[in-house]
Structure 1
Amino acid sequence: MERANDLVMPDDPGGEEFSSLTNPFRVELLAHCYRMLGSVHDAEDLVQETYLRAWRSYDGFEGRSSLRTWLYRIATRVCLTALENRGRRPLPTGLGGPTTDLDDAATMPDVPWLEPIPDALVGAEGSDPAAIVTSRESIRLAFVAALQHLPPRQRAVLLLRDVLKWRTAEVAEMLHTTTTAVDSTLRRARSHLERVSPRQDALAEPTSAAQRELLDRYVTAFEGRDVVALTELFTDEVSWEMPPFAAWFQGSETVSRHLATQCAAQPGDLRLVRTYANGQPAFATYLRSEDGIHHLTSLQVLTLTTAGIAHVTNFVDPRLFALFSLPDIGRLAHHGGSSA
């Protein structure tokens, strides 16, 4: 697949104009495709496909809608086509109830798991505070996971209406349907989402200062293998999941027992390097091997509330690490928790 940035040809005088006009929308289109697919790798491919199709048909663009709207039409249709033959991308918490069997280490490597996305790729680290809030709320891991429960067209309608704020008539035109059908689809999507998505008031975040203190304490406790200190940072109903392991744990006591009995690292063996994913704090986790080198083993994405750490998702797919510009291996002599 050609990358959109490579589509400008020397003998194509309109190519430079196309790139200059359409490239500003690349980041938000990537976020849109990611919400639809639940995979940053698939989203990147579909954004490339979107730009390729747009470039090929640019001469026929008549300006009856904005260029942004036109690109979103193409991207949404590309996503819906891609989803015709694909199942949803779940997290372990979306497949069944928690387990109390601490020895349950069954993996499901063939499941297309939901992937995290770096904030930097989708503009969640921008300078406009209002834009940051909007962007972060719409790419939260729990929200994207909840979207995966919706049929593709419901997913598209909800995103276009509630996230992008398109008018009903615009959505109807894009999907070749009626405004009545769009309204009906939106009601069903909202109702379904309410049943599977956490309440927003339950996800109220601590202040910036309290968040920094909480994360600093988490790093100190995790690197020091201080399970008692970690337990104090968790909410009572904290969830801990580790795709591709199907088992997940809930409750501070169960999670703490898992960390105490199933994680063999000693104090100093683990180092955390701070990053950000899905508008949430995240940590790259490095484990020291016998050669004294800390190897990157997982990416933790944390959900924080005013009551403490409510959810930790540990991703162990090595393909994801490169997305976050993290070193694969390294000697991390200093205290972890530094910004990546």
Structure 2
Amino acid sequence: MSGPLRKLKSVTVLALDDAGAEDAFLADAQRYRRELLAHCYRMTGSLHDAEDLVQETYLRAWKSYKGFEGKSSVRTWLYRIATNTCLTALDGRKRRPLPTGLGAPAGDPTADIAEHHEIPWLEPLPDSPREDPSDPSVIAESRESVRLAFVAALQHLSPRQRAVLILREVLQWKAAEVGAAIGVSTAAVNSLLQRARAQLDEVQPSREDQLVPPDSPEASDLLAKFISAFETYDMDKLAELFTADAVWEMPPFDGWYQGPHNIITLSRTHCPAEKAGDMRFRAITANGQPAAALYLLNPGTGTHEAFQLHVLDVRHGGIAHVVAFKEDGLFEKFGLPATL
């Protein structure tokens, strides 16, 4: 074989080897997609934004693959890219609240209600069907870090405080690792974390007020009774399921309502359903919590159509909080049919 041909063959083989290594690297990176989605969701409070940011993370990883020197794990490297991708995307954006986070007092359930689509509301997160049941500690940790109360509390922090708190306390990174990831000193990381913790203490529920796991008998029983009470339009039974200080809110409406009596009055006053059979539900989970997809009867077609997705806080005393999400395309994101 002549010199030029030998050289051409060696370059071709090297290129194939590089391509094979890159494909293997990116294939390995794909197994972190779900946890990166949860990470971007915690940062942004939006499932839609999180999906786009994960795509951007993998695009950046693919473009910079040759600069990856193996000084950290692939997982750590991807989290660094994802975190900085989120920080760039969040620059100048408004936080995503729930109605309770707007600062207004509890509303009058008999007053008029209005939708506010101009507000970038917090969105729910579908649970992964691929959680490994052999490791309950991993499941519990992942559930707690995407629960609505925690993600809503994160929205009160600046994006950089959010990143530091998540990397330090959810992912358990060292301060020096966090500083290297977001380009600040270790002292700055510690300062950001201290301020983030102080702000969270003001808005986050206490650790003693833990939610009941969605797969526990108590949570399953309360969710079944919640669904049954609505489907049979038994408002008295529904009232019995709530704790005395239970909260109901339903973005894109900006009001929130407290106490069983006010919640039932709200349902009677503003819910389009009027009798047994008008509502049907499908039990699901979202944000590591019990949830139910509500389908409302369309009298014109005789079919039950996607209406709201209810995410429940179930505590030992009953149902303490319900967020009833209503937005176009939400059921599709959860893999739910448009009609029943």
Per the normalisation by structure 1, the TM-score is 0.90
Choose the corresponding residue for 1:187, options 191, 194, 213.
194
**2:168 is equivalent to residue 158 of structure 1:** no
Q: Is the 8 A contact 1:282 1:299 kept in 2?
A: yes
Write the distance in 1 (CA, Å) between the matches of 2:258 and 2:87: 34
SS of residue paired to 1:249 = strand
SS of residue paired to 1:200 = coil
RMSD: 1.7
- What is the Cα deviation at residue 127 of structure 1? 4.4
- What is the Cα deviation at residue 12 of structure 1? 4.0
Unaligned 5+ runs, structure 2: 1-15
Q: Is the 8 A contact 2:252 2:326 kept in 1?
A: yes
CA displacement, residues 15-53 of structure 1 (integer Å, 9 cap, x when unaligned): 421222211111111110000010111001111111111
Write the distance in 1 (CA, Å) between the matches of 2:123 and 2:101: 14
Q: Is the 8 A contact 2:211 2:313 kept in 1?
A: no
Q: Give, as a single letter, the amino acid of the residue that structure 2 aligns with 1:61.
A: F
Q: How many residues align?
A: 320
Q: Give, as a single letter, the amino acid of the residue that structure 1 aligns with 2:193.
A: L
- What is the Cα deviation at residue 260 of structure 1? 2.1
Q: Is the 8 A contact 2:109 2:269 kept in 1?
A: no
Write the distance in 2 (CA, Å) between the matches of 1:62 and 1:162: 27
Q: Is the 8 A contact 2:219 2:290 kept in 1?
A: no
Write the distance in 2 (CA, Å) between the matches of 1:192 and 1:263: 36
**2:89 is equivalent to residue 82 of structure 1:** yes
SS of residue paired to 1:329 = coil
Match in the other structure for 1:236: 244
SS of residue paired to 2:120 = coil
Choose the corresponding residue for 1:60, options 58, 67, 70.
67
Q: What does 1:1-340 correspond to in 2, within 5 Å?
A: 12-95=19-102, 96-120=104-128, 127-205=134-212, 208-265=216-273, 266-290=275-299, 291-330=301-340
Match in the other structure for 2:9: none
| Structure 1: 4+ residue segments shifted above 4 A | 123-127
Q: Is the 8 A contact 1:104 1:247 kept in 2?
A: no
Q: Give, as a single letter, the amino acid of the residue that structure 2 aligns with 1:320.
A: L
Unaligned 5+ runs, structure 1: 1-8, 331-340
Residues 276, 108 of structure 1: alpha-carbon distance in 2 compared, 3 angstrom cutoff = same
Write the distance in 2 (CA, Å) between the matches of 1:156 and 1:144: 12
- What is the Cα deviation at residue 120 of structure 1? 1.7
CA displacement, residues 193-237 of structure 1 (integer Å, 9 cap, x when unaligned): 111111121234278222222122111111111111011000011
Write the distance in 2 (CA, Å) between the matches of 1:262 and 1:52: 46
Residues 124, 282 of structure 1: alpha-carbon distance in 2 compared, 3 angstrom cutoff = farther
Q: Give, as a single letter, the amino acid of the residue that structure 2 aligns with 1:117.
A: L
Residues 124, 279 of structure 1: alpha-carbon distance in 2 compared, 3 angstrom cutoff = farther
Write the distance in 1 (CA, Å) between the matches of 2:292 and 2:42: 22
Q: Give, as a single letter, the amino acid of the residue that structure 2 aligns with 1:310.
A: A
Write the distance in 1 (CA, Å) between the matches of 2:45 and 2:193: 20
Q: Which has the larger radius of gyration?
A: 2
